[in-house]
């Protein structure tokens, strides 16, 4: 049996390891989007279609510049 460790957890199944990695990646992306939005003065909402951003055109362009980095 092969044991793998990821973020302090031990996995013996490749599928459960992949699920944990995808979940962590999604959480990191969402956290970075929320940080970029808050520092740009844009409101963000998570919907079933993805994320929605609300704000003035200037703030939206600031957010876009932050995300391009």
- pLDDT value at residue 2: 87
In the beta sheet, which residues pair with residue 48? none
- pLDDT value at residue 48: 95
8-66 pLDDT, tens per residue? 999 999 899 999 999 999 999 999 999 999 999 999 999 999 999 999 999 999 999 99
pTM: 0.78
Q: What is the DSSP letter of 40?
A: H
Structural domain for 24, as ranges: 4-68
Confidence check: pLDDT of 69 > 80: no
Separation of first and last alpha carbons in the chain? 42
CA distance 39 to 54: 13
Number of structural domains (the chain) is 1
Q: Say whether 16 sits in a helix, a strand or coil.
A: helix
CA atoms within 13 A on the CB side of 66: 17
Q: Which residue, among 65, 30, 37, has the nearest Cα to 53 in the 3D structure?
A: 37
């Amino acid at each position: 049996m092969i044991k793998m460790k990821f973020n302090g957890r031990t996995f013996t199944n490749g599928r459960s390891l992949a699920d944990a990695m995808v979940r962590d990646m999604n959480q990191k992306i969402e956290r970075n989007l929320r940080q970029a939005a808050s520092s740009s003065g844009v409101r963000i909402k998570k919907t079933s279609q993805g994320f929605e951003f609300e704000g003035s055109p200037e703030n939206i362009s600031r957010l876009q510049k932050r995300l391009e980095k």
